[in-house]
Amino acid sequence: MANVTMTAPATERLQLLRVLGPAHIWALGVGIVLVGEYMGWNFSVGKGGMIAGLAACWVAGLLYTCVAMIDSEVTSTIAAAGGQYAQAKHIVGPLMAFNVGLFLVMAYTMLEAANAITVGYLLDTVAGMMGHTGLNQKPFIILSIMFLAWLNFRGVLATLTFNLVITAIAFLAIIALFVSVQLGVSAVPMDFSAITTSPLPYGWIGIVAALHFGLWYYLGIEGTCQAAEEVRSPARSLPYGTMAGIMTLLIAATMTWYVCSGLLPWEYLGQAGTPLFDAARVTGNTGLMVLLFVGTMFSTLASANGCINDASRAWFSMGRDRYLPSWFGAVHPVYRTPYRSIVFLVPIALIFALGAPLDQVVTFSILSGLLGYTFMTFNMVMFRRKWPLDTIKRGYVHPLHPLPVIVLLTLCAAAYFAVFLGYGTQLSAMMCFYIVASLWFHFRRYQFVRRGDQFTMPWPKPAGY
């Protein structure tokens, strides 16, 4: 195995700063996702009961473990901002890359909007508990987006260090609740009798329907690879941070299901707005209540923060390659961030945060994510075929290929069916949107793309070419 050093280009270029380590990657991935432990996942219990909620937790965990493994291998080799977009560009082709880029931007911008809505809802809840009714949530929704966008504008190191701190606190809050309940702090004993009295209240179809909301436990872990161009050692940091992230989430998800299912009746849990916070309230311990409220707020802010980071990188990469106007491909000369993309996406997030209902926004985010996961399956097969293991160096090689691909594709199909059961219209509308966007790209935009500059990795020619 040999690495051949080449000379640096003479012209000065502005590049994104390579300042991040594995901990920042962990913070980016887990930070985007952990809010799903604090809210949203519990609708899976409402769809199918406690057992269906646990099945959804672990089946979705298996799906995302496949996503993390596949993503780690490809991203450790294609170290470019844009993540899966850059992967699609190198391995599949321009039209796929354009669509994947859109999936990413839509998924993260919608999730950012959903998080901002949640911040407003949480503060309204607290105001209500303090006797203030009719809180105007809009200024708080706008402030959360504006502040985090400004933080992202100012630099990636501060942004993801901030994410690391608040994500760690939110994760430790879940562990503290779990340990406290185990030590008997709760005023209410754990009760799992519903598992035997009403194991599957809506039958086996309830497990399939629950899968839709089981995705909330892990949705966004694949966002780690958006930082590929800003980590000091992509081949090491990206697989390390991503795999540590999915392990963290599997632990947090199982603990969350266990504590909430034990403390809250499943009929309530299935429609609760903030299940972990509610579980802390049931314990009657003020310290736990405060800690879990802080955890809920921090996880929400961490998710929005990571989403701004990831959506702007994907948008920036598409602008840099002229898939979008090249104006978006600018790097700030001082902060070294994709500042125009960050600013441009702020009003889009605000429109969805202020004008769309939460469940619709999250469903569009999930659907865009699912489309991205489906892409990963054949992307991985093509990657291994075109560049077998003995042709290019990989930072991580995922085991048992093609089993994870088959499992991922099967679970994606099940998840599409689950989403179709509840949100068939939105699924159809989303597909129409991407078809129209693809037609626009093919007939109008592709003429501006610099075709010769698309393939940027110093790889040998693919097998068979």
Partner 1 sequence: MDIWNILEYVAWALSAMFGALMLINLIRIDTTYDNELLTSSREGEIEVTAERHQI
The site map against partner 1 for 228-267 (x = CB under 8 A) is -x--------------------------------------
Alpha helices in 130-155 (DSSP H): 138-154
The least distance separating partner 1 from the CB of residue 20, rounded to whole angstroms, comes to: 13
Q: Which of 10, 11, 193, 355 binds partner 1 (CB under 8 A)?
A: 11
Cα 74 from Cα 294, distance rounded (Å): 36
> Should residue 346 be labelled a site residue for partner 1 when binding is judged by CB under 8 A?
yes
Integer angstrom CA distances of residue 356 from 116, 351, 353, 359:
12, 8, 6, 9
Stretch that binds partner 1, among 43-51, 205-213, 386-394, 430-438 (CB under 8 A): 386-394
One-letter amino acid of 397:
V
> Should residue 390 be labelled a site residue for partner 1 when binding is judged by CB under 8 A?
yes
Residue 20 dihedral angles phi and psi, to the nearest 5°: -95, 155
The least distance separating partner 1 from the CB of residue 23, rounded to whole angstroms, comes to: 21
Q: Which of 54, 66, 104, 149 binds partner 1 (CB under 8 A)?
A: 149
Which of 162, 328, 323, 314 minimizes the C-alpha distance to 229? 314
> Should residue 15 be labelled a site residue for partner 1 when binding is judged by CB under 8 A?
yes
Return the residues of window 112-131 that contact partner 1 according to CB under 8 A: 127, 130
Integer angstrom CA distances of residue 381 from 64, 169, 228, 239, 384:
17, 38, 21, 19, 5
Cα 167 from Cα 309, distance rounded (Å): 15
Q: Which of 129, 132, 290, 448 binds partner 1 (CB under 8 A)?
A: 132
Stretch that binds partner 1, among 14-22, 172-180, 215-223, 261-269 (CB under 8 A): 14-22
Q: Which of 28, 81, 106, 292 binds partner 1 (CB under 8 A)?
A: 81
Angle of CA points 223, 227, 228, to nearest 5°? 110
> Is-contact 259 177, C-beta < 8 A?
yes
Integer angstrom CA distances of residue 78 from 156, 224, 230, 328, 362:
20, 13, 13, 21, 29
For the record, the structure tokens of 249 come out as: 């989430």
Residue 209 dihedral angles phi and psi, to the nearest 5°: -65, -35
Return the residues of window 202-231 that contact partner 1 according to CB under 8 A: 229
The site map against partner 1 for 298-317 (x = CB under 8 A) is -------------------x
The least distance separating partner 1 from the CB of residue 51, rounded to whole angstroms, comes to: 42
- Please state, as a whole number, how many other Cβ atoms lie within 10 Å of the Cβ of residue 404: 23
Return the residues of window 90-109 that contact partner 1 according to CB under 8 A: none
The least distance separating partner 1 from the CB of residue 75, rounded to whole angstroms, comes to: 13
**CB-nearer residue toward partner 1: 48 or 395:** 395
Cα 201 from Cα 212, distance rounded (Å): 17
**CB-nearer residue toward partner 1: 2 or 183:** 2
| Torsion angle of the four alpha carbons 452, 458, 462, 465, in this order, in degrees rounded to the nearest 10 | 50
The least distance separating partner 1 from the CB of residue 135, rounded to whole angstroms, comes to: 6
Q: Which of 191, 287, 439, 453 binds partner 1 (CB under 8 A)?
A: 453
Integer angstrom CA distances of residue 155 from 31, 111, 333:
17, 21, 11
HEC string of 221-238? HHHHHHHCCCECCHHHHH
The least distance separating partner 1 from the CB of residue 47, rounded to whole angstroms, comes to: 35
> Should residue 408 be labelled a site residue for partner 1 when binding is judged by CB under 8 A?
no
Give the footprint of partner 1 on this chain (CB under 8 A).
1-9, 11-16, 18, 77, 79-82, 86, 127, 130, 132, 135-136, 139-140, 142-143, 146-147, 149-150, 153, 229, 317, 320-321, 326-327, 329-334, 339-340, 342-343, 346, 390-393, 453, 456-460
